[in-house]
Amino acid sequence: AQKITQTQPGMFVQEKEAVTLDCTYDTSDPSYGLFWYKQPSSGEMIFLIYQGSYDQQNATEGRYSLNFQKARKSANLVISASQLGDSAMYFCAMRFKTGANNLFFGTGTRLTVIP
Amino acid sequence: NAGVTQTPKFQVLKTGQSMTLQCAQDMNHNSMYWYRQDPGMGLRLIYYSASEGTTDKGEVPNGYNVSRLNKREFSLRLESAAPSQTSVYFCATLRDILSYEQYFGPGTRLTVT
Span B87-94, mean pLDDT? 96
pLDDT value for A96 = 84
What does the pLDDT average to over B35-60? Answer: 93
Interface touch A50/B33, C-beta < 8 Å: no
pLDDT digits over A6-55, tens only?
A: 999 999 999 999 999 999 999 988 899 999 999 999 999 999 999 999 99
How much is the pLDDT for A1?
A: 63
Distance of CA A103 to the CA centre of its chain: 12
Give the pLDDT score at A2.
67
| Preferred mutation among A45, A50, A109, A110 to probe B, highest tally of B CBs within 10 A | A45
Considering only CB atoms, which chain B residues are within 8 Å of A45? 43, 90, 92, 104, 107
Partner B contacted by A2 (CB < 8 A): no
| Chain A CB within 8 Å of residue B94 CB | yes
d(CA B52, CA B50): 7
Of A59, A24, A45, the C-alpha closest to A88 is: A45
Kind of pairing between the strands at A3-5 and B103-104: unpaired
Q: Please work out, in degrees rounded to the nearest 5, the angle formed at the alpha carbon of residue A14 by the alpha carbons of A57 and A44.
A: 65
Main-chain dihedrals φ then ψ at residue A86, nearest 5 degrees: -80, -10
On average, the pLDDT of chain B sits at: 94
SS (H, E, C) chain B: CCCEEEECCEEEECCCCCEEEEEEECCCCCEEEEEEECCCCCEEEEEEECCCCCCEECCCCCCEEEEECCCCEEEEEECCCCHHHCEEEEEEEECCCCCCCCEECCCEEEEEC
- Check pLDDT > 90 for residue B63: yes
Q: What is the longest distance spanned by two Cα atoms in chain B?
A: 42
| Residue in B44, B48, B107 nearest the CB of A43 | B107
Q: Do the strands B108-112 and B10-13 form a parallel or antiparallel pair, or are they unpaired?
A: parallel
Mean pLDDT of B99-103: 87
